[in-house]
Amino acid sequence: MLDLLKGIGEGIGMDASIRTSKKYEEFKLVSTTDFFYPSIKDPYIQGRIGACNVLSDMYAMGIYTIDSVLMILSVSIEMEAKAADIVTRNLIRGFNDCCKEAGCQVSGGQTVKNPWPIIGDVAQSICKDIDIIYPINAVTGDVIILTKPLGTQVAVNMYQWLKQYELLTNDEEKKQHKYHSLIDIISKKDCYYAFDVAVASMARLSNIAAQLMHKYDAHAATDITGFGLIGHAENLASNQIHNVNFTIHTLPLIKHTLDVDTKRGGGFRLKKGYSKETSGGLFISLPANQARLYINELKQLEPNYPAYIIGNVQKGSGQVTIIDQPTIIEI
């Protein structure tokens, strides 16, 4: 995807499209879009997550001032009218509140009917080259930072399994259920804890992390979402101007998610970096002498949400590897 960026400074982009204005050549139009089916039951929080995830594409390019947000919304035709009205109103409220927190307002959009409720948006910003951190300039010696923990997919599934398990009344059905195999390694309290951490992470904006990318001379970045840590990191590494590899030595994981994935046979491939994330953190390559300064200031501004040094940039050919025994940080 980034081939169009090399040499000309614009194109499809890693996380957002960048185009030069046809009328005003000094300005760029940066835009992105995405939408979601529900992953959690709370429609207000789901609205926030939908906004956070799309805005994250802009933040990954260093764009933290958003000029326009257009909402994409579908109203469920499978729900009874009263329930659909409550869900839709709260999706919109959560979405709008998140956009206001980000310093932008929803100025329009499109609403349709669909069996499932859907929330998403189109985000756009008009800016100049100096406002954009093009995701192509990682160099040997850089340090890699991740601004959110991994494991949201596992945590959400853990919670869903628990809620399904609690509804079962037949002992044999309980024994066959996915959650039954986890009882010996994770309590109900642990499951709720992991889910709460995941929701807080998914519903958190990355605008401050994006602003600090400029201050501390970030060379490249992407956000970790549906293709997992490895998928997004490989896309970033393979499209750098310089010939580099990314080596991951540390994995910050939501507590209990690795134990659950291991117990279930490793199907999520969390430790291998393939587990999907929603509204995940920024994966940032920046100078080694700036990494700790970046992390310290982000911690001052967002005390409850630390960032982590997870790897290094080395000379190579666009490969990404996780070392055999990475350091695991449980969050």
**pLDDT (mean) for 225-240:** 95
pLDDT of residue 53: 94
CA distances from 179 to 151, 258, 264, 277, 302 (A): 17, 15, 10, 21, 34
Confidence (pTM)? 0.94
Enclosing domain of residue 32:
2-131
Instruction: Let me know if residue 183 belongs to a domain.
Output: no
Closest CA to 250 of 210, 283, 280, 279: 283
* Number of domains within the chain: 2
Instruction: Let me know if residue 187 belongs to a domain.
Output: no
Mark whether 310 and 208 lie in a shared domain.
Answer: yes
Mark whether 83 and 149 lie in a shared domain.
Answer: no
Mark whether 98 and 147 lie in a shared domain.
Answer: no
**pLDDT (mean) for 195-206:** 97
Strand 106-114 to 68-76 pairing: parallel
Helix (H) or strand (E) holding 326: strand 320-330
Mark whether 251 and 286 lie in a shared domain.
Answer: yes
**pLDDT tier at 10, thresholds 50, 70, 90:** low
pLDDT of residue 282: 98
Domain end, chosen from 131, 163, 190, is at: 131
Residue 326 has pLDDT above 60, yes or no: yes
Instruction: Let me know if residue 58 belongs to a domain.
Output: yes
d(CA 133, CA 219): 7
Mark whether 120 and 147 lie in a shared domain.
Answer: no
Residue 327 has pLDDT above 60, yes or no: yes
Instruction: Say which CATH number the domain at 218 has.
Output: 3.90.650.10
d(CA 229, CA 27): 32
Mark whether 211 and 302 lie in a shared domain.
Answer: yes
Is residue 95 classed as helix, strand or coil in its secondary structure?
A: helix
Mark whether 124 and 150 lie in a shared domain.
Answer: no
Task: Report DSSP letters for 223-268, one per residue.
Answer: E--TTHHHHHHHHHHTT-SS-EEEEEEEEEE-TTHHHHHHHTTSTT
Mark whether 149 and 211 lie in a shared domain.
Answer: yes
Residue 6 has pLDDT above 60, yes or no: no
Instruction: Say which CATH number the domain at 48 has.
Output: 3.30.1330.10
Mark whether 80 and 148 lie in a shared domain.
Answer: no
pLDDT tens for each residue of 127-172: 999 999 999 999 999 999 999 999 999 999 999 999 999 999 999 9
The average confidence (pLDDT) of the chain is 93
Q: Pick the more confident residue, 294 or 8.
A: 294
d(CA 90, CA 88): 5
Residues in the chain: 331
pLDDT tens for each residue of 24-34: 999 999 999 99
User: Six-digit token pair at 164?
Assistant: 């399904």
Mark whether 119 and 148 lie in a shared domain.
Answer: no
